[in-house]
Amino acid sequence: MTVRPALKPYRRPALRLRRVLHRLVDPVCSLPNRWRAARRLRDVPDGEIDAGVSVPYVSQFASPDLIHAYIHQQLHGRDDPNWQAFGAPDPETYTFWAHRACAVACVKMAIDAFGTSAPRTMWELVSEGLSLGGYRTHDAAGQFVDEGWFHPALVQLARRHGLCVESMGYASLLDVCAAVRDGWLVAAAVTPELGEHGPLRRYDGHFVLVYGFQWRAGRYTAFVLHNPSGRSRDLQANALISARRFGAAFAHRFIAFQKR
């Protein structure tokens, strides 16, 4: 197995502080939205509610069965027999961007579900997102910073491919439910640790696509989603996540997609 050298990005102190503050402030700021969403959901019947569209699963890695090795064993893409399915020109490019493509995978799943654009490879969508200024890997001094996808570029990418896009900060889990009930596919910001069965210690850093939820006696009890980097099969396509666990993983913001 080829080991991929670990790249440790520089985190600006202001960015680290902002993430700490978000973890403290976001749940409180989401309360008014929660109250409004609760009124919208008063008539939801018990059962499993979904967005009303079949959503194909898209992994951010070419081989879903190798995701655990990519995340925990530093697997390099050249050892993945399917790496070319991502569409990248070489294994190095694939390996770098596959680790950073969760949001793009969610956009692709929405495009494929609604059929709003001709099929694109993951690399085609990543490249298009980069052309929109969607990702910054290095700062002006050339230092590796790796700060993630910029929200406006993801919105523009989705709209270019025929999707109607709505986004929400300080969102509650009830807002996720309301969006799904109204036919939206919801790319929810969560901790990457949602892709495992262990403890949830981090905040933010990953996207999953929520397309359903379970509802009983006026409350959500579980969420149904596709996780582009679930480490095991049960946490990849059609993953059923308890409301308690999803709530602990949720970073109180999302981007939602619907057919225009």
Q: Which contiguous run of DSSP H or E holds residue 9?
A: none
Cα distances (Å, whole numbers) of residue 25 to 11, 156, 169, 236, 251: 21, 28, 12, 30, 11
| CB contact burial 236-245 (16+ within 10 A = b; e otherwise) | bbebebebee
Q: Which of 59, 113, 117 is nearest to 85 (CA)?
A: 59
Q: How far apart are CA 184 and CA 100, in angstroms?
A: 24
Q: How far apart are CA 167 and CA 80, in angstroms?
A: 35
pTM here is 0.94
Q: What is the CATH code of the structural domain delimited by 13-259?
A: 3.90.70.10
Write out the DSSP string of 171-208.
Answer: --HHHHHHHHHTT-EEEEEE-GGGGSSS-----S-EEE
Residuewise pLDDT in 10s, the chain (260 residues): 454 555 666 556 666 667 778 888 999 999 999 999 999 999 999 999 999 999 999 999 999 999 999 999 999 999 999 999 999 999 999 999 999 999 999 999 999 999 999 999 999 999 999 999 999 888 888 888 888 899 999 999 999 999 999 999 999 999 999 999 999 999 999 999 999 999 999 999 999 999 999 999 999 999 999 999 999 999 999 999 999 999 999 999 999 999 99
